[in-house]
Structure formats: C-alpha cells, structure tokens
Amino acid sequence: MTRPSRQPNPAHGQEPDGSSLPAAVLWDMDGTLIDSEKLWDVSLRELMAHLGAAELRQEVREALIGSNMRHTCEVLLAEADRPITPASVAETGRWLTERTRQLFATDLPWRPGAREALASVRAGGVRTALVTSTERELTEVALDTIGREFFDVTVCGDEVDGRNKPDPWPYLSAARLLGVDPRRCVAVEDSVTGSASAEAAGCVVLVVPCDAPVPSGPRRILRDSLVGVDIRVFGELLAVGVG
Ligand SMILES: [Mg+2]
C-alpha cells in the first residue's frame, strides 16, 4: 500500500463554473485500465494444463474475474481435483504469478479511452487511487506500463488482510488513505466482484464491463467504454449516482 505522495489540490472539488467534482476517482486495474483479463486467460488456462486438468470451464473463468490470488488458486485446485492445502495454494500462486508476470511484461494493452480518462482526472487535480485485487508484485509490473504518477495511493490484493473484493474494505481503505469520503468518490470497475465492493463502500460506480456482463444497481452507472469520459463527466456521474 502506498501513501499519499502529494498534497490535495486546494482547488479540487469544484470547477470554475461551480459544478461539483468527485473527491477522488478510484480505479480498478484489470479489465478497467488495461485489458489484462485476456492475459489472465492465457496464464489461467496454462495453469490448468500444468495441474493436469481439463480445460477451464467458461463459467468458472467468468466467476474468477476480479478475484484475488488465494481464492483463484483454491478454485482452480478444486477444478483440477487436487488437494487444497496451504502449501499447494502457495505453490500454485507462485506458478501463476510468475507466468502472468512474464505476460504482463511483454504485452499489456490499454482498455479503450482508459489512458485519456486517467490523464484527464490527473490534469483536473482530483485525487486518485488504484484499487486492485492483483497482488503488489504483479501490480508493479503493470504500473511500468500504466504509470505510477497517475495515482496518489495504490491498494493491492495482498494488502487488505484478506478482506478482498467484493468486501468493501479495499475501497474504504483507499478513501481513508486519501482522506476523502467514499460517498463523494467515483469508482471505475469492470466486474461483478469489483462493482459490489465499490458499491458497498458507498462509492458511485462507473461500470464498464469487459469480459462478462455486470448487472445494474442503485449507485451504478453502466457505459460501454471509457472513450470520452473526462473529468467533467466524472462530476456529472457523481451527481447522477448520488441522486
Ligand atoms: Mg477488474
């Protein structure tokens, strides 16, 4: 978990025309900023072969979108009919992390509009956090592509005391580190698991589904992509989501 690295912009919170801005924008990573779920597809299917199992069933793959490493390993060991022990989960996690790290280091494409949306929020002086279920080691590889300078704080899947998404804790933790009210934040998510986490934390959630559909909800606003989403749009989304 990284701490805030810069002071709040005293001007943040309101545009010159008086319209409100979010207190912060909280970004999911996989499937939201970068199209890494496609790379997870590769490493997860290779892991199943490594475990001597049949193909990864599509419904199981979809259920793992937004999941954390320990849960993912437990599910795949069960699918492969292998014993689930602390040692087997740890060994499976090491294998999956290493293979995914190789893939992240060679090819990590952005989701449409994500880079521009991220840059617009940064340029607008609104505080930002990365809130990911991916562990720190892999997140750091991804940040080489995304850019660390875009985030005031980063919260990773191995830094939340096991209270991973869909628990609200990762988003609550990010808001606390930023010193902002989560109910004045917009979270950006692509998955059922992540959207549930952000919504339970009280955030307005901009949902841009990537690999699986996400149902609507009281504080959720669904869009097809992040193309055209800039700092002003985030202000409008907060107003709509808060109601
Ligand atoms: Mg995601």
Mean pLDDT for the chain? 91
pLDDT digits (tens, 9 = 90+) for 12-64: 455 544 458 999 999 999 999 999 988 999 999 999 999 999 889 999 998 88
Can you list the alpha helix ranges (DSSP code H) found in 55-85?
A: 58-63, 69-79
Ligand 1 centroid to residue 95 C-alpha, Å? 21
Q: What is the pLDDT of residues 174-226, one digit of tens each?
A: 999 999 999 999 999 999 999 999 999 999 999 999 988 999 998 999 999 99
Residue 2 belongs to a domain: no
One domain for residues 115 and 201: yes
- Around ion ligand 1, which residues have CB less than 5 A away? 28, 30-31, 66, 190-191, 194
Q: Are 43 and 31 within one domain?
A: no
The residue range of the domain holding 95 is 37-106
> Could you tell me if 57 and 166 lie in one domain?
no
Give 83 Cα–ligand 1 centroid separation in angstroms.
Answer: 28
**Model's pTM, two decimal places?**
0.87
Tell me, yes or no, whether 46 and 29 share the same domain. no
Q: 68 and 197 in contact (C-beta within 8 Å)?
A: no
Rounded Cα gap, residues 222 and 241, in angstroms: 11
Per-residue pLDDT reduced to its tens digit, 65-83 = 888 899 999 999 999 999 9
Query: Tokens 């996690």 — which residue?
Result: 93
Does one domain contain both 31 and 46?
Answer: no
Radius of gyration of the chain (CA): 18
Ligand 1 centroid to residue 66 C-alpha, Å: 5
pLDDT of residue 134: 93
Report whether pLDDT(88) > 90: yes
How far is ligand 1, taken at its centre, from the CA of residue 36, in Å? 9
Provide the domain count of the chain: 2
Same domain, yes or no: 238 and 187: yes
Distance 25 CA to ligand 1 centre (A): 15
Neighbours of 37 (CB within 10 A): 22
Contacts of 113 (CB under 8 A, 6+ apart): 225, 226, 227, 228, 229
Domain identity same for 161 and 217: yes
